[in-house]
A and B are shown apart, each in its own frame.
Chain A
Amino acid sequence: MAQQETMIAAATPAFAARYRRLLLGCLAVLLFFAAWQAVFLVVPFNPLFISKPSLIAAGYADLIESGDLFHDLAVSAVPFFVGLGAAVMIGVPLGILMGWRVRVGYALDPLMTIFYASPLVALAPLLVIFFGVGVSGKAIIVFSLSVFPFIFNAYAGVHAVDRLLINVVRSLGGGEWALYRKVILPSVLPYVVAGARIAVGRALIGVLVGEFFAASEGIGFAISRFGDLFAMDKMFACILTVMVIAVILTEGIRWAERAAFPWRAEQ
């Protein structure tokens, strides 16, 4: 009898057991905010230097009601997507070329590694001077930060191409262009999408930094202005928004990876 019950329990696990990963994750987030709120019951609270979840929520309500938040996000979205789009269009072909053409790879690998490793953010003020305070300056900052994950992941993807498949296509009469289209690009795509997860994070930093230096609107500008005004509630509201967007974008890519490559055997 007891045995039968455990079997039934195993077949249809309770809600808590089935969603325990999600539940535990959400619980930790809630606890974090609760602790944040609670700590000021003990520690003295000064709204000029710090905020707490209850005030942030009120600040959120203000920003949403006035429409400022959406306006700033829409403004920031332009250089973000322009820069990221350019990073894909240039980074992926360049990485593939570096991987497939050995001499191009030998020549460019050290240079690209130097750029990737260097704190390009430090050049942001310079880029703003060169390319202006408009969309182009920020798009170039976004591009210069996010292009490298695409280059290096495409490069690594080419190295992982199965040589046998190259011979298969050659033996069936395929030329260089057919190799790119039928073997190399499909092999490299999963690597590129994995690179996109890293690139998105860097691109967000690029937008924020660009707007910190020179902007009159945008989410990065909003964060820095609210900071200058000691409006900590609104500043944190904007920061949290950026965090949520970062999580949505990277998780969205992770989900798209699983949906787009059904041929990848489940690991």
Chain B
Amino acid sequence: MTGYIHARSVSLTFRPPNRAPVRALGGFDIDVEEGEFLSIVGPSGCGKSTFLNVLLGLTKPDGGEVMMHGKPIRGPGSDRAMVFQEFGLLPWRTVTHNIELGLELKKVPADKRRAVADRLVTLVGLSGFEHHYPHELSGGMKQRVGLARALATDPEVLLMDEPFAALDAQTRDLMQVELLRIWREAKKTVLFVTHQIDEAIYLSDRVVVMSKRPGRAKRIFAIKLPRPREYEMRVTPEFNDLKLEIWNTLKDEIVM
């Protein structure tokens, strides 16, 4: 069977020189549907980020297969883009030029790049900051640039590796609302790695809970809350029931 994204028994062991090998992924299975918002939660070091890197094509698994559109992933491709936890903005480039990076690497002509960047600056709400350097922006604004840069090459899938973890709590809440708006407008498939159960439930269609290392998918929760999601939904009994259930699934995996 070939789904949209289809990962079977993905396993990966890191072998750092002069240290014991670390089994990061131990038979991870997942099927992602097109247009879906899927979150992955799990204990620290369970291989969540490693799995995103495998999907991105930066890391090769030693076993199993990861397919997209029925074809194995062999390296980075313009159908996927990553939003990084620490933003990863080039400090010597202004907002606009950071957003244009991926298009530059694809040899898109300058006028087209500028048009895309202008549209995305508006989409992520950074109008007026086009010529600012990253050090002049707040954390939330930096991640808006990170998001715009990922969207610039018009990928089908957005991979988000704890994108809001470096932000303060209020900024994070606002960014979640913004992300849902952008997701609706841009119509992407999103794979979202997070530590926060709230965040995962609020954003997602499904939440995957991973086991401790070597990571596997322990249980998958379908989130049936209606869309568009409202902030108030976070204090409803259904939301809290889900949160408790996910927590109960997750807590046994946490190694202190």
Contacts and interface: CB of A to CB of B under 8 A. Distances in A.
Given A170-B76, A171-B58, A173-B77, A164 B105 contact: no
Interface in B96-125: 101-102, 104-106
B102 A182 contact: no
A186 B90 contact: yes
Interface string B59-96: 00000000000000000111001101010101111000
Contacts of B58: 167, 170-171
Interface residues of B, number: 24
A256 interface: no
User: How big is the A interface, by class?
Assistant: 20 to 34
A221 B201 CA distance: 79
A221 B101 CA distance: 53
Contacts of B102: 172-173
Contacts of A165: 88, 90
B56 A171 contact: yes
A178 B134 CA distance: 21
B105 A178 contact: yes
Interface string A177-196: 01000110010000000000
A164 B134 contact: no
A263 interface: yes
A171 B81 contact: yes
A262 B134 CA distance: 11
A181 to B, nearest CB: 10
B135 interface: yes
Contacts of B93: 263
B76 A173 contact: yes
- Residue of A165, A172, A178, A186 ringed by the most chain B CB atoms within 10 A: A172
Interface of A: 162, 164-165, 167-174, 178, 182-183, 186, 261-265
28 contacts: A164-B84, A164-B86, A164-B88, A165-B90, A167-B58, A168-B82, A168-B90, A168-B101, A170-B58, A170-B76, A171-B56, A171-B58, A171-B82, A172-B101, A172-B105, A172-B153, A173-B77, A178-B105, A182-B90, A183-B90, A186-B92, A263-B91, A263-B92, A263-B93, A263-B133, A263-B134, A263-B135, A265-B135
